[in-house]
């Protein structure tokens, strides 16, 4: 399907991929990622690629932007595309096949304002997060949303405190966090910069008349702050804009995962374990319906005991679509887990929490390879450091879930062929859980 709006020579919404990527019962957070940049200043380092697709630590930069937003509760994405849009859509289709997303494409540049207005034609929520595909700003979305809704702001800007800079202008706030001034770029000793991350009230923005092509920053932000409806929310999380070679090179180090040894892990680490094919025998093509069908692998009890002594948190993350299909109930699943927990504890091990995804849809954010179970665990156990966490599984979806959540990964070849190492998805590979546990000692 191709749908055109306004002047058909300049705006086209492309929906050539008709896959239904609907999140079941969606009423969550939604984000627009502006990913149409040419990347002219990076052309020497990254020829012939959209800026957001610049390779950083072995992945397109867009990978980090998408997955950080997922960690903040964003479940649906709208990509605003332009230059070499086919590179991005191909990447999304291959590497984010279970992500719920839509996209729009500019055939001629519309400016940031025009790009946002076009993307908003695909929005489903009253407030939408907007960010740049070439900037990673690790905002706390909960505090951003809380302030935004309490103030009924037309737009809330995430502002980053910086020192000794001349690359950005500064934003000034009053005591109520309303924006009172935008200052031009010059040398500043310190100040708050616009981090390029906005929470936008869709009705307040689209209720105004906008030209086809315009700058969001100049025509909306800088001309409308006097009305008192624009607010700033100070966020001091990690920030990098890869728009210049210096910061592009810095990102290579910042976003790379450090090399670690299994023997160095301690109780400050968290382990996520898949279930069937890891602890217990997998029923190929079916499900473990009852406690009587649950059979631990030989050596699994001793392995779990070792793992429990090593890691601060031991968590299970398992896809259980049989519930969603109506083949078993949640109560049946709980009975299986109660049997599993009883046997493991009798063997000297422990499971601190079970996480399971029961929806049929691949686009459910909890279902692996989506990282929702890891992020749910982070909410339940705030002490979890995703940079000191590991996912152990026997399926490619386990490895992808681990990477999407920022975890280290261990692949067990109990039910599937081994990977050819080195591999982008896998840090370590073993035949069984018992072999992995032995390597921890």
> Structural domain boundaries of the chain?
2-254, 262-440
| pTM reported for the whole predicted model | 0.91
Confidence band, pLDDT 50/70/90 cuts, at residue 20: low
Residues carrying an active site annotation: 274, 276
Max Cα separation, the chain?
71
d(CA 335, CA 291): 6
pLDDT at 107: 87
pLDDT at 325: 96
Average pLDDT over residues 210-234: 93
Confidence band, pLDDT 50/70/90 cuts, at residue 25: low
Confidence band, pLDDT 50/70/90 cuts, at residue 243: confident
CATH number of the structural domain 2-254: 3.90.550.10
pLDDT at 285: 85
Average pLDDT over residues 317-337: 96
Nearest CA among 387, 423, 421 for reference residue 405 = 387
Nearest CA among 12, 15, 32 for reference residue 112 = 32
Phi-psi region of 369 (alpha: psi -120 to 50; beta: other; left: phi over 0): alpha
Confidence band, pLDDT 50/70/90 cuts, at residue 313: very high
The structure tokens 């319906």 sit at 289
The verdict on domain 262-440 having CATH code 3.40.640.10 is: no
Q: What length does the chain have?
A: 441
Nearest CA among 248, 249, 259 for reference residue 422 = 259
d(CA 60, CA 214): 28
| Residue 376 CA to its chain's centroid (Å) | 13
């Amino acid at each position: 399907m191709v749908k055109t709006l306004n002047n058909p020579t300049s705006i086209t919404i492309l929906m050539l991929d008709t896959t239904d990527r609907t999140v079941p019962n969606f009423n969550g957070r939604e984000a627009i990622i502006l990913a149409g940049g040419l990347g002219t200043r990076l052309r020497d380092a990254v020829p012939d690629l959209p800026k957001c697709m610049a390779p950083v630590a072995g992945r397109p930069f867009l990978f980090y932007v998408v997955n950080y937003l997922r960690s903040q509760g964003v479940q649906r994405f709208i990509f605003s595309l332009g230059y070499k849009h086919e590179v991005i859509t191909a990447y999304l289709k291959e590497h984010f096949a279970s992500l719920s997303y839509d996209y729009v494409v500019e055939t001629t540049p519309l400016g940031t304002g025009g790009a946002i207005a076009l993307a908003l034609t695909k929005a489903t929520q009253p407030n939408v997060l907007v960010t740049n595909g070439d900037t990673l700003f690790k905002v706390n979305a909960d505090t951003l949303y809380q302030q935004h809704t309490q103030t009924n702001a037309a737009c809330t800007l995430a502002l980053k405190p910086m020192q000794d800079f001349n690359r950005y202008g500064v934003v000034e706030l009053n005591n109520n966090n309303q924006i009172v001034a935008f200052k031009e770029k010059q040398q500043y000793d310190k100040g708050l910069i616009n981090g390029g991350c906005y929470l936008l009230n869709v009705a307040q923005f689209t209720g105004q008349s906008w030209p086809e092509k315009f700058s969001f920053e100049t025509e909306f932000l800088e001309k409308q702050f006097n009305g008192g409806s624009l607010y700033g929310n100070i966020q001091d999380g990690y920030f990098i804009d890869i728009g210049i070679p210096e910061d592009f090179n810095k990102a290579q180090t910042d976003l790379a995962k450090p090399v670690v040894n299994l023997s160095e892990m301690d109780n400050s680490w968290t382990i996520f374990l898949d279930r069937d094919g890891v602890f217990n025998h997998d029923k190929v093509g079916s499900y473990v319906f009852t406690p009587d069908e649950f059979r631990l692998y030989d050596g699994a009890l001793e392995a779990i005991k070792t793992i429990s002594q090593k890691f601060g948190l031991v968590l299970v993350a398992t896809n259980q679509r049989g519930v969603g299909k109506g083949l078993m109930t949640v109560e049946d699943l709980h009975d299986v887990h109660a049997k599993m927990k009883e046997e493991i504890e009798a063997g000297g091990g422990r499971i601190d929490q079970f996480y399971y995804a029961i929806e049929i849809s691949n686009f459910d954010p909890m279902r692996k390879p989506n990282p929702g179970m890891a992020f749910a665990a982070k909410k339940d156990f705030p002490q979890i450091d995703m940079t000191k966490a590991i996912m152990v599984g026997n399926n490619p979806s386990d490895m992808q879930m681990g990477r999407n959540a920022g975890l280290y990964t261990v692949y067990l070849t109990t039910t599937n062929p081994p990977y050819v190492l080195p591999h982008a998805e896998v840090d370590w590979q073993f035949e069984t859980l018992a072999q992995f546990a032995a390597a921890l000692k």
